[in-house]
C-alpha cells in the first residue's frame, strides 16, 4: 500500500477531497513552473536569434556599396558576342 493510499484509507470524504485538492495544487504548481522555465528559455533563444539576425543584416549592409559597384561594372561592360 502506498503512502497516499494509507493516508486516504482511513480519512473522511472531506479529508480525501482536501488531500486530492492539495495534490492537484502541488502538481499544478510544478507544471506551471516547468512552463515558466520553458517560456524563459524560448525567450532567451529568440533574443539570441534576433541578435544574430541583426548582425547578419548589418554585415550585409556593409557590402551594399561593393554590390552597387559590381552591378554598375556588369551593366556597363560590353556583352560577349555583341
State the number of CA atoms in the 13 A half-sphere of 7 facing the CB.
11
Q: What is the pTM of this model?
A: 0.58
Q: Regarding predicted confidence, which is higher, 73 or 20?
A: 20
Give the residue-averaged pLDDT of 53-78. Answer: 87
Answer yes or no: are the C-beta atoms of 16 and 8 closer than 8 Å. Answer: yes
Residue 72, Cβ density class (10 Å: 0-12 exposed, 13-18 middle, ≥19 buried): exposed
Does residue 82 surpass a pLDDT of 70? no
Q: Where are the domains of the chain?
A: 3-76
Q: What is the per-residue pLDDT across 9-56, written as a single tens digit (0 to 9) for each? A: 667 999 999 999 999 999 999 999 999 999 999 999 999 999 999 999
Give the residue-averaged pLDDT of 59-68. Answer: 86
Q: Which residues contact 11 (CB under 8 A, 6 or more apart)?
A: 19
The reported pLDDT for the residue numbered 1 is 47
Amino acid at each position: 500500500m502506498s503512502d497516499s493510499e494509507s493516508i486516504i484509507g482511513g480519512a473522511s470524504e472531506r479529508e480525501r477531497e482536501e488531500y486530492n485538492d492539495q495534490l492537484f495544487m502541488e502538481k499544478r504548481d510544478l507544471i506551471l513552473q516547468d512552463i515558466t522555465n520553458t517560456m524563459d528559455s524560448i525567450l532567451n533563444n529568440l533574443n539570441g536569434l534576433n541578435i544574430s539576425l541583426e548582425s547578419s543584416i548589418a554585415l550585409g549592409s556593409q557590402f551594399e556599396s561593393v554590390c552597387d559597384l559590381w552591378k554598375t561594372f556588369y551593366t556597363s561592360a560590353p556583352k560577349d558576342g555583341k
